[in-house]
Structure 1
């Protein structure tokens, strides 16, 4: 299916690895010129080089979005060649902490990195989308926004804020040609997750092969209707759809890609 994205440009924050990398690669495969963002120069440049090697178009933006100065550097690099049509707010940090361990300073830093970082990008890039009459803002959220766990409360709360700001932005952008939506992944099998699960599998009795480990881990930690973890490419496909003109009539939506982990009708 032609998603009609050829010639568009996208900034994918936090795309030097993991989920963001998969999103940047998928958009590039659809003909989008992507700006790969990260804080580590070597890793970010490597992703951009891989995209170019596959025939795609990629530029690089380096900066820490948790500061105004870093955000200015990223936006300056992103807009150096042409306007940005698609903003994917993916960057964020996660820490497995209890309520006792998550200090007020941890909460502040997590909110700064996971929420205000995206606000900085929106405020700097959406006005020029409005002027041109077309654009996409896609926020990467998660099921913990609506069904939080007892652990990592500081992270759960920032996901809820990301969902909320995305819908508020959609209302603000009414009749402008710019839409705002959320993609909410379930548990996604990025490299560090696979390494973690493989390491704890013997103690949990999950088996020896990866197929056995995945089934056991899903059963005991994130039961869902598919019996497996999601893959980064599946989240990237959802982002690509919402980025496209085919999704013109979708705004303020939460597209859950979680295998049925979250079980409600809203």
Structure 2
């Protein structure tokens, strides 16, 4: 299926590795000119170069979106070549800390990194996007923002705020041709997750073969209907779908990509 992304420019924040990289690669494979974003030059450049080696179009920008100065630098470099058609707000960070181990100051830091960074890029890129009469604002949320658990409460509350701001933004964008949607992944099998599970396998008796480790970890902690962790490419496919002109009638929506992990919605 042609998702009609040829000729579109897309910025994917936090795309020098993991989930963001998978999103950037798939958008480029669908014909979009992708701007890879990160804070590490060698990693961001490597992703952009890999996309170009595969026949896609890609550049990269660097900047820390947790500060106004960093967001200004990123937006300035991006807008120097014109408006973006698609913004995928993906950058964020978390630590799996227990409730009482997260100070109020750390809650504030988490909100800045995981919510205000999104707001900064929307503020900076939306005015130029409006001149196109069409666009996509896509936030990456989390199934934990719908059904929170005990660990990392600051991050889960921040992802819930992402879900909320997406709907508010959709109302704000009425009549502009720009849609605003959230994708909420469940637990994803990225490199850090895989390494963590391998380290935990002996403690929990999950076995030594990866297939056994993943199955047992899912049964103990994730408990979804598919029986495995999600893959970044599966979230990337959802992003590509919502980026397409074929989804002009979808806005203010939350699309779960979680294997049935979320039960309350």
Superimposed CA distance per residue, residues 17-43 of structure 1 (whole angstroms, 9 cap, x where no aligned partner): 000000000000000000000011111
Shift of 1:82: 2.8
Which range moved further: 94-103 or 216-225? 94-103
In the alignment, the residues of structure 2 paired with residue 76 and residue 59 of structure 1 have an alpha-carbon distance, to the nearest angstrom, of 14
The equivalent of 2:123 in structure 1 is 123
The equivalent of 1:47 in structure 2 is 47
With the length of structure 1 as denominator, give the TM-score of the two structures: 0.98
| SS at 2:238 equivalent | helix
Gaps of 5+ in 2: none
| SS at 1:61 equivalent | strand
Shift of 1:129: 1.5
| SS at 1:139 equivalent | strand
Shift of 1:81: 2.0
The equivalent of 2:233 in structure 1 is 233
With the length of structure 2 as denominator, give the TM-score of the two structures: 0.98
The equivalent of 1:213 in structure 2 is 213
CA contact (8 A) 1:141 1:183 kept: yes
Superimposed CA distance per residue, residues 180-229 of structure 1 (whole angstroms, 9 cap, x where no aligned partner): 00000000100111111011111211111111111000000000000000
In the alignment, the residues of structure 2 paired with residue 259 and residue 146 of structure 1 have an alpha-carbon distance, to the nearest angstrom, of 14
In the alignment, the residues of structure 1 paired with residue 190 and residue 149 of structure 2 have an alpha-carbon distance, to the nearest angstrom, of 21
1:1-266 correspondence to structure 2 within 5 Å: 1-264=1-264, 266=265
In the alignment, the residues of structure 2 paired with residue 96 and residue 250 of structure 1 have an alpha-carbon distance, to the nearest angstrom, of 33
Shift of 1:145: 1.1
CA contact (8 A) 1:60 1:77 kept: no
Gaps of 5+ in 1: none
User: Which runs of 4 or more aligned residues in structure 1 lie more than 6 Å from their structure 2 counterparts after TM superposition?
Assistant: none
Shift of 1:80: 2.3
Superimposed CA distance per residue, residues 156-189 of structure 1 (whole angstroms, 9 cap, x where no aligned partner): 1100100000010001001110000000000010
CA contact (8 A) 1:88 1:137 kept: yes
When the two structures are aligned, how many residues end up with a matched partner?
Answer: 265
Superimposed CA distance per residue, residues 129-159 of structure 1 (whole angstroms, 9 cap, x where no aligned partner): 2222100000000111121111211111100
In the alignment, the residues of structure 1 paired with residue 80 and residue 198 of structure 2 have an alpha-carbon distance, to the nearest angstrom, of 43
Superimposed CA distance per residue, residues 29-88 of structure 1 (whole angstroms, 9 cap, x where no aligned partner): 000000000011111111111111111111111000000100011011112223200000
In the alignment, the residues of structure 2 paired with residue 3 and residue 97 of structure 1 have an alpha-carbon distance, to the nearest angstrom, of 40
Shift of 1:122: 0.3
In the alignment, the residues of structure 2 paired with residue 154 and residue 252 of structure 1 have an alpha-carbon distance, to the nearest angstrom, of 24
CA contact (8 A) 1:141 1:185 kept: yes
